[in-house]
Amino acid sequence: MTKLDGRRIADEGLHGWAYLLGGLQTRLRTPDFATGLAIVGAIGAAAEEMNHHPDLDLRYGHVDVRLSSHDVGGVTERDIRLAHAISAIAAEAGVTPDCTGSVRLELALDSPAYGVIQPFWGAVLAAEAKGDDVNDPDSPLPLVWFQESGSEEPRQRWHLDVWVDPSQVQPRIAAALAAGGTLVTDEYAPSYWVLADAEGNKVCLCTWQERDNAVDG
């Protein structure tokens, strides 16, 4: 099964779904818990029939769905088919897929010698330190990744990478600026934008777009 890139996924016209960090995500907002539970049951039946299973998070008022093909580390045609099936299930329940609340969070630590500190973060998070990352795919904690930096003080240490659908970038930038933030740079847009709060703490607002040509956020 071939892994699909962001452009190919966008061409599928999956309304209300976002492609975030190797997976398709949506939020199904439900009027009550019983409706959410019924939707989860219907999704489970469809997933069993396709032998391809999503990650589901059932809450009062919504169901979060994430689809990914773990054997290839990304989105494939089987995820597209299941997303279409889930959208149909939602429509039958009177629910519309909505990606405005769909987000993935990564924590980035900039360090001149991250190999020295990476084992520490793996230990305290009880996660595997591998490559540039510390990650436990079965944990709800965000992935932690490391980026080489200079050693001059003061310097950036922690920053957040917030992954959103491209349609959500400008509304979030506008809200951040209205809340007292600044746009540090859009040099790497549309892959990511760097923003900072009033104290200079930075965040990268990231999308799937043009990732092949972008440096890390």
Report the CATH number that the domain containing residue 87 is assigned in CATH.
Answer: 3.30.1360.20
Query: What are the backbone angles phi and psi of residue 178, rounded to the nearest 5°?
Result: -65, -25
Asked which of 76, 98, 120 is the last residue of a domain, the reply is: 98
* pTM of structure: 0.89
Bond before 31 cis per omega within 30 degrees: no
- Predicted local distance difference test score (pLDDT) of residue 155: 81
- Predicted local distance difference test score (pLDDT) of residue 83: 98
Instruction: Tell me the pLDDT tens digit for each residue of 120-150.
Output: 999 999 999 889 999 998 888 899 999 988 8
Number of separate domains in the chain: 2
Could you tell me the two tokens for 14?
Answer: 């999956």
- Predicted local distance difference test score (pLDDT) of residue 21: 93
- Predicted local distance difference test score (pLDDT) of residue 212: 54
Q: Can you list the residues of the chain whose pLDDT is less than 50?
A: 213-217
d(CA 163, CA 18): 10
Handedness of CA 123, 124, 127, 131 (dihedral sign): negative
d(CA 163, CA 177): 18
Residue 194 forms part of a structural domain: yes
d(CA 167, CA 8): 17
Report the CATH number that the domain containing residue 187 is assigned in CATH.
Answer: 3.10.180.10
Q: What is the DSSP string of 129-161?
A: EETTEEE-TTSSSPEEEEEE----SS---EEEE
Residues 71 and 154 in one domain: no
Query: What are the backbone angles phi and psi of residue 187, rounded to the nearest 5°?
Result: -60, -35
Residue 144 forms part of a structural domain: yes
Could you tell me the two tokens for 37?
Answer: 């539970």
Residues 116 and 207 in one domain: yes
